[in-house]
Amino acid sequence: MDVSIVNNDFYLSGMAALIGDIDKQLMVMLRDGRTFIAFLRSLDQFGNLVLHQAFERIIVGQQYADIPRGLFVIRGENVLLIGELDFHRPLRVPLYEVTIEEILKLQKQDLEKKDRIEKLRQKAMLEHGLVDEGNPIEEHY
C-alpha cells in the first residue's frame, strides 16, 4: 500500500513520504552520531538517500563547524531522522561557529573524556559483579 487516504488527506507510506522533500536542504542524522546538512536528490524504498553538497556538522557543546563532504549515498538503515530546516528560527541555546581544526580538536578531547568516564563506569560495574556487554546488535547511536 503506497497511498492511503486518512482524514481526507492523502499521504504516501514508507520512504515515499519523503518525495516532497526532494531538492530541499535537509538535516540528516545518522546512527553513528553524525549530522549532515545537504540537498536530498534521490531516495528509494529502503530509505537509501543521495545527498548533494553535503556538510558534516560537528557539534561539541555549543560550538560547531561544517566540513564539506560533497556527494553522498547513504544506506537507509543508518538514518535516524531527516529534518527540514528553518535557519531563521531563534535558538534557545545559541551555537557558535568555529574553524574545522578547532572543532576536530574539541571533538577529540570530548571523545577522550567520554572514553574515560565509560572506562570508570565499566570498572565500577565490574566491582559490583556486573559485566556490560553493550548492545550486541546496534552499537552506535
Partner 1 sequence: MLFYSFFKSLVGKEVVIELKNDLSIAGTLQSVDQYLNVKLTEVQVLDPEKYPHIQSVTSAFVRGSVIRYIQLPPDDVDTQLLQEATRKEITQPRKE
Chain residues in the site for partner 1 (CB under 8 A): 1, 6-7, 11-15, 17-18, 21, 27, 29, 31, 33, 35, 47, 57, 59, 62, 64, 76-77, 79-87, 89, 91-93, 95, 138, 141
Q: Considering the complex, what minimum distance in angstroms separates the CB of residue 35 from partner 1? A: 6
Cell of 15: 520512504
DSSP 8-27: TEEEE-GGGGGGGGTTSEEE
Side-chain half-sphere exposure of 101, counting CA atoms within 13 A: 0
d(CA 37, CA 41): 13
Nearer to partner 1 among residue 70 and residue 76 (C-beta): 76
CB of 94 to partner 1, least distance (A): 8
Cβ closest to partner 1, residue 127 vs residue 137? 137
